[in-house]
Structure 1
Amino acid sequence: MYSIALALAGLFFRPAATALQKRAADFFDPALGGGSIFDNATFGGEPMNVIISGLSSPDVLTDDGVLNFVRAIGFSTECLGLHLGNPQSANLGDGDGLVNQTIGLREDFGSSALGTCLESAIGGNHLRVFRQNGPQADSGALFLAVSKEQPASKHHDIVPDGYNVGRDDLVSRAVGTKGFGGIFYDIQARNITGLMPAGSDGINHGIGVDGIVTLLTVTIQSTDGASS
């Protein structure tokens, strides 16, 4: 009787399910969780065509960390802290639904203090950062929507082939060893196909993409050359 009573108790007093734990992964495919590799822009989606791997050094994946990293490869915050245009949103399939971009960054032309003012005027490379950290897919990876823009006189529209061009420009700046603010990074790149469809269907301004997403793994180097 005692064993039967214990079995019945187990049916009615099961412990509550524990929350999903953070899992070590480069990233999770947003589509598997009902999301998309395209964000939501004014005239369609923009491709999140670069991903900073969740297996990068943890400090790189924080707000301050990614800002220092992008400064090491020639990007910085908006001109005088003024944001032009509305933030875009994305669903990374992590259970958080649509979430606004974490930050927008611009090419700084060699000056992290004022260079983005020049980009705002004459155009250049630009990126938006989205973080995959919801309860259903917490990789910590950063999804970047990268594009090359036209000048302010043309309303910062995307240049022809600007999504592929912007991605390739950022990656070419990044690969290797780069540093800013006394922190040095080792950056490895790998192209991924099958995550993003090629073509222009549903894409902002009807500008086509080649379907390639580049994965960056960013490792902070200590002063003795060891990784952390």
Structure 2
Amino acid sequence: MFVKFSVLLLAGALVASPATYGAIVQKRAFPFVDPSIGGGSMLIDTLNGAGEPLNVIISGLSSPAVLNEDGIVNYARAIGFSEECLGIHLGNPFPANLGDGHGPVNQTIELRQDYGNSEVGTCLESLIGGNHFRVYFQNGPSADTGAAFLAVSKEKPVTDNHDIVDDGYNIGRNDLVSAALGTTSFDGVTYVTTAQNITGLMAAGAEGVNHGIAVDGIVTLLTVNIQ
């Protein structure tokens, strides 16, 4: 089901984000705020005049322990992703403006498909390609929802310069969502994830999209609760 969705920010209704994984704080009041309300965009800046879609959002109504860097990493491992091979990142970080008052901010972290091995599996992804995503938190003074915006795409092998596969933005989103839905766990933490497809946040088509690869205009909102 595709849902036309918009969220308005009510000043003063939000609380501070958890500083570390496992912190216990009150949940935010909103799942996210449309970045365009604050002058932002649902396309990250790939530094070449084009952008890549923020096609998955982890709701600010998720368990707070998920909505910080350590929490996202543990959750990613529960759904088949992990940190980059040997902690090495090749290429420039890409900024995004989530309309939260911070302006353009570089990605918090990039996570790659781990092919079933959270320790070294991402080295295989770096070689043969696969799914990966960049993470951005909406936590600025004008939209402190805590939501995690993900730019997800499926990429080609290193021999093809990690270019995006045909339809790779839609495929990457769908593969991540399929892996996330239901009950997953890692390192003693169990997650229950539900999903809702949203239209109206970004335009369908290839205009302004990196590599000229069209997107279908759908953003999937995940709500992740720790059991």
State the TM bucket, normalised to the shorter chain: 0.7 to 0.9
| 1:50 corresponds to 2:73 | no
The one-letter code sitting in structure 1 at the alignment partner of 2:210 is N
Q: Deviations over 1:129-154 (max 9, x none)?
A: 00000000000000000000000001
1:184 matches 2:187: no
> Is 83-92 or 19-28 further displaced after alignment?
19-28
Write the distance in 2 (CA, Å) between the matches of 1:69 and 1:61. Answer: 10
Which segments of 5 or more consecutive residues in structure 1 lack a partner in the other structure? 1-18, 222-228
- Maintained 8 Å contact 2:153/2:172: yes
Determine if contact 2:13/2:29 at 8 Å carries over to the other structure: no
Whole-angstrom CA distance in 1 between matches of 2:188 and 2:13: 33
Q: Percent identity?
A: 67
Structure 1 residue 73 and structure 2 residue 79: aligned? yes
In structure 2, what is the equivalent of residue 33 of structure 1?
Answer: 38
Q: Name the residue aligned to 1:24.
A: 29
Whether 1:157 and 2:168 are equivalent positions in the alignment is: no
1:63, distance to aligned residue in structure 2 (A): 1.0
Partner of 1:100 in structure 2? 106
Task: Check if 1:147 corresponds to 2:153.
Answer: yes
Contact kept? 1:42, 1:204, Cα under 8 Å: no
Equivalent pair of 2:44/2:97 in contact (CA under 8 Å): yes
Q: What is the deviation of 1:59?
A: 0.2
1:174 aligned to 158, 174, 180, which one? Answer: 180
The secondary structure found in structure 1 opposite 2:66 is: helix
Deviation per CA, 1:51-93, whole angstroms, max 9, x where unpaired?
0000000000011111000100000000000001110000000
Q: What is the DSSP-based 3-state SS (H/G/I as helix, E as strand, rest coil) of the residue aligned with 1:140?
A: strand
TM-score, normalised via structure 2 length: 0.88
Could you tell me whether the CA contact under 8 Å between 1:20 and 1:135 is conserved in 2? no
Which structure has more helix as a fraction of its residues? 1
Q: What code does the residue aligned with 2:132 have?
A: H
Residue 21 of structure 1 deviates from its aligned partner by 5.0
Instruction: Give distance in 2, aligned partners of 1:100 and 1:159.
Output: 24
Does 2:90 align with 1:84?
yes
Where in structure 1 do 4 or more consecutive aligned residues deviate above 2 Å?
none
Match in the other structure for 1:6? none
**Aligned counterparts of 1:117 and 1:193: Cα–Cα separation in 2:** 35
User: 1: distance between equivalents of 2:55 and 2:178?
Assistant: 14
Q: Distance in 2 between matches of 1:25 and 1:181?
A: 28
Distance 1:205 1:42, change over 3 A: farther
Larger strand fraction of residues:
2
Aligned equivalents of 1:67, 1:159: Cα separation in 2: 25
CA shift for structure 1 position 96: 0.2
Distance 1:42 1:108 in 2: 27
SS for the counterpart of 1:46 is strand
- Supply the AA of the counterpart residue of 1:40: D
Taking structure 1 as the reference length, what is the TM-score of the superposition? 0.88
Whether contact under 8 Å (1:148, 1:162) holds in the other structure is yes
Unaligned ranges ≥5, structure 2: 1-10, 15-27
SS in 2 for 1:31: helix
Letter in 2 for 1:124: G
- 1:20, 1:136 within 8 Å by CA — same for their partners in 2? no
Corresponding residue for residue 220 of structure 2: 214
